[in-house]
Structure 1
């Protein structure tokens, strides 16, 4: 008979996850410490949403690395407009659209969009570090300009990619802050970008942050999806992320 598993303490469980477990109570309410922790995490999430996007600083670093980069804006007027009108964050402003049309860029394999999204703080903190690991893994592909997009939703990359004649876009964007992850970065890959696509046409690599997916792990997944997506001509529900299989050890041959 298999002996029962040893009982684990709540302290051990809390060490494994940032989730709120075993908070305790005082009467019918949370303990004071649990309430204070919740209030602090909620404030951090709100701060991440309203953090200023350091677009110029990102542009300066990219330019210093010899990369072609430009800034575009969506149709939102300000941050309050962004939060109330998601549809406007999916469309380029008239000036931005004219800029991309005037570029008349040649067709390319990939365009990378660095967008503020719902957590500019995440992009400020992680986008450049991820690019440092990702770009070497995309060697051999024709990369178009890196576009820094303000007031952006994920789908803004579709219009950008179409105007820049990209076979695929990779949008690095701040994800909706959670109470345990206010600075989480996401990457969305879309083959044959064009306005009107839905999220079913995209692959997503999410939770890129210090307490989640590392830059190296995320870069490996994104590069695998980009390579396979360009090779097969698909992304989204038609492309399953099997990047982990190349890291799996082969099964031992039975004797």
Structure 2
């Protein structure tokens, strides 16, 4: 009869690798195989190509217009080697967004959502649609939302240029985060006030680990809208905007606004 492992109860609460044990001087075979599988998942998440057409169709089915764009990184290899290229749009995308903005981008919108593949297109495929739906559900009725921009080979800062071209007061980048060995599908949400090329990370607020095993879309959306309202009130984001959403009783929001189709 095998004795019960006293660590089993703790493992039920976390995907972290705890008390892996050993076989002689090595890890047990089953743990070694699990590690190899997790590493392969993380590598696949980094290199997988985001299916922009499928995401655009899913958003269209939800009644949302979208604009596909591409960063200045021509392919995945360049994207991984040159982070700076992933922060800027290519020329064709700049023209596409200028056309979408129309003759008066100054009027703009209150919030622009940008979806970028980042370092895990798997995170976008699994979580972006549900998060956008939750964001719409909790959106204030008087906020104007722009079309969803879907970006391939994107870094977080690419949303700054997109937001500036479309005259957005706030831009939110939904992006695949760097995969961990137990979280290859984690989605991040970055909020920036008055987006413009040259903004730095200290001027953003981040909500991280959005996925079924982490922060669920409903909770993430409520936290996001607390931050977004405060950002508009204070006219800033970043280190000066502290997330106190857990301390506040967030009232049920009014009906969501209509979005462009």
Q: What is the TM-score when the length of structure 1 is the normalising length?
A: 0.91
The secondary structure found in structure 2 opposite 1:244 is: coil
Partner of 1:195: 197
The equivalences for 1:29-108 within 5 A come to 29-103=26-100, 104=102, 105=105, 106-108=107-109
Which runs of 5 or more structure 1 residues have no equivalent in the other structure?
Answer: 1-7, 249-255
- Which position in structure 2 is the counterpart of 1:134? 135
CA distance in structure 1 between the partners assigned to 2:77 and 2:120 by the alignment: 14
Alignment match of 1:152 (pick from 147, 151, 154): 154
Q: Counterpart of 1:244?
A: 246
- The offset of 1:107, in angstroms, is 1.6
Aligned length: 241
Secondary structure of 1:141's counterpart equals coil
- Counterpart secondary structure, 1:196: coil
After superposition, the C-alpha distances for 1:101-157 in whole angstroms (9 at most, x for unaligned) are 233343211100011110000100110011111112113201112101111000000
More helix, by proportion: 1
Deviation, structure 1 residue 67: 2.2
Deviates more, 1:47-56 or 1:177-186: 47-56
Alignment of 1:156-235 (within 5 A): 156-235=158-237
Q: Deviations over 1:73-95 (max 9, x none)?
A: 00111111111111100010011
Which structure is larger by alpha-carbon Rg, 1 or 2?
1
Ranges in structure 2 where 5+ consecutive residues have no aligned partner: 251-261
C-alpha root-mean-square deviation of aligned residues, in Å? Answer: 1.4
Task: Output the TM-score relative to the length of structure 2.
Answer: 0.89
